[in-house]
Amino acid sequence: NAGVTQTPKFQVLKTGQSMTLQCAQDMNHEYMSWYRQDPGMGLRLIHYSVGAGITDQGEVPNGYNVSRSTTEDFPLRLLSAAPSQTSVYFCASRPSLGTEAFFGQGTRLTVV
Amino acid sequence: DAKTTQPTSMDCAEGRAANLPCNHSTISGNEYVYWYRQIHSQGPQYIIHGLKNNETNEMASLIITEDRKSSTLILPHATLRDTAVYYCIVRALNSGYALNFGKGTSLLVTP
């Protein structure tokens, strides 16, 4: 059981480039989400999904797209990277709303 | 979700109990108290949660006051690896998806 796996762990992008952050879980959890964490701040929800084919926006969705074609995978796409998107990104999954959330180890993204 | 108040930072000697307080005076009857922690540069890790009764698991104990307006997370024998930011989150089971982590308490366990 690998839990929640995020790739890559580190990434440097130039302004305007696009990329996809990968997130996969092997626990058959329905709920998956993406958070970003900026220095000295708590985690803020970007997008979430309550099942395959269903996604919704969180607190800070602008500049990001998601899709959920399978239960296991929930990729986060940066359409045109901006320096303001420099952050640490965490993916999380959980079986249902009231249960504990499992987090990946994070992707540290720098946009120059 | 009810607002929570935690101290910004705390110290604890290795081997001693670490008692981390959380105030949640506006908690509603259907809201649970959750604790997560985040060790430097890692993803948050679930610790424990409870509604009104005290709870214990292999990681920690959660003590909730009878009026439910505050709670304490207890790490019975703190180790250096327990140095982390600890987040107290109060939420109902059906209160939406986001976990509001806030600033948490930075716990430093010293040798």
Average pLDDT over residues B28-51: 93
With a CB-CB cutoff of 8 Å, which residues 13-52 of chain B face chain A?
Answer: 32, 34, 36, 41-46, 49
Candidates A59, A96, A102, A103, partner chain B, best to mutate (most B CBs within 10 A)? A103
Rounded CA-CA distance A74/A89 in Å is 13
pLDDT attached to residue B102: 84
pLDDT tens-place string over residues A40-96: 778 899 999 999 999 999 989 999 999 999 999 999 999 999 999 999 999 999 987
The band of B74, judged by pLDDT with boundaries at 50, 70 and 90, is very high
**A36 bridge partner residues:** A44, A89
Nearest to B98 among A45, A98, A103 (CB): A45
Q: Chain A within 8 Å of B102 (Cβ-Cβ)?
A: yes
Rounded CA-CA distance A112/B40 in Å is 24
Rounded CA-CA distance B107/B104 in Å is 9
Q: Please indicate whether, in this complex, the C-beta atoms of A58 and B94 are within 8 angstroms of each other.
A: no
B23 three-class SS: strand
pLDDT at residue B51 is higher than 80: yes
pLDDT tens-place string over residues A6-52: 999 999 999 999 999 999 999 999 999 999 999 877 889 999 999 99
For the stretch A60-64, contacts whose Cβ atoms lie closer than 8 Å and that sit 24 or more positions apart, written own/partner, are A60/A36, A64/A34
CA distance B2 to chain A (A): 15
Rounded CA-CA distance B20/B9 in Å is 10
Q: Please indicate whether, in this complex, the C-beta atoms of A42 and B97 are within 8 angstroms of each other.
A: no
Nearest to A58 among B41, B87, B98 (CB): B98
Rounded CA-CA distance A100/B26 in Å is 22
Q: Please indicate whether, in this complex, the C-beta atoms of B101 and A33 are within 8 angstroms of each other.
A: no
pLDDT attached to residue A109: 97
- Provide CB contacts within 8 A for B35, sequence distance 6+: B20, B22, B46, B47, B48, B49, B60, B62, B73, B86, B87, B88, B89
pLDDT attached to residue A1: 64
pLDDT attached to residue B93: 75
- In SS3 terms, A78-94 reads as ECCCCHHHCEEEEEEEE
Q: Please indicate whether, in this complex, the C-beta atoms of A90 and B99 are within 8 angstroms of each other.
A: no
pLDDT at residue B98 is higher than 80: no
Rounded CA-CA distance B7/B22 in Å is 8
Q: Please indicate whether, in this complex, the C-beta atoms of A97 and B94 are within 8 angstroms of each other.
A: yes
Sheet with B55-56, strands from edge to edge, namely: B18-23, B70-75, B61-64, B55-56
CA distance B46 to chain A (A): 6
pLDDT attached to residue B103: 86
Higher pLDDT, B10 or B103: B10
Average pLDDT over residues B68-72: 96
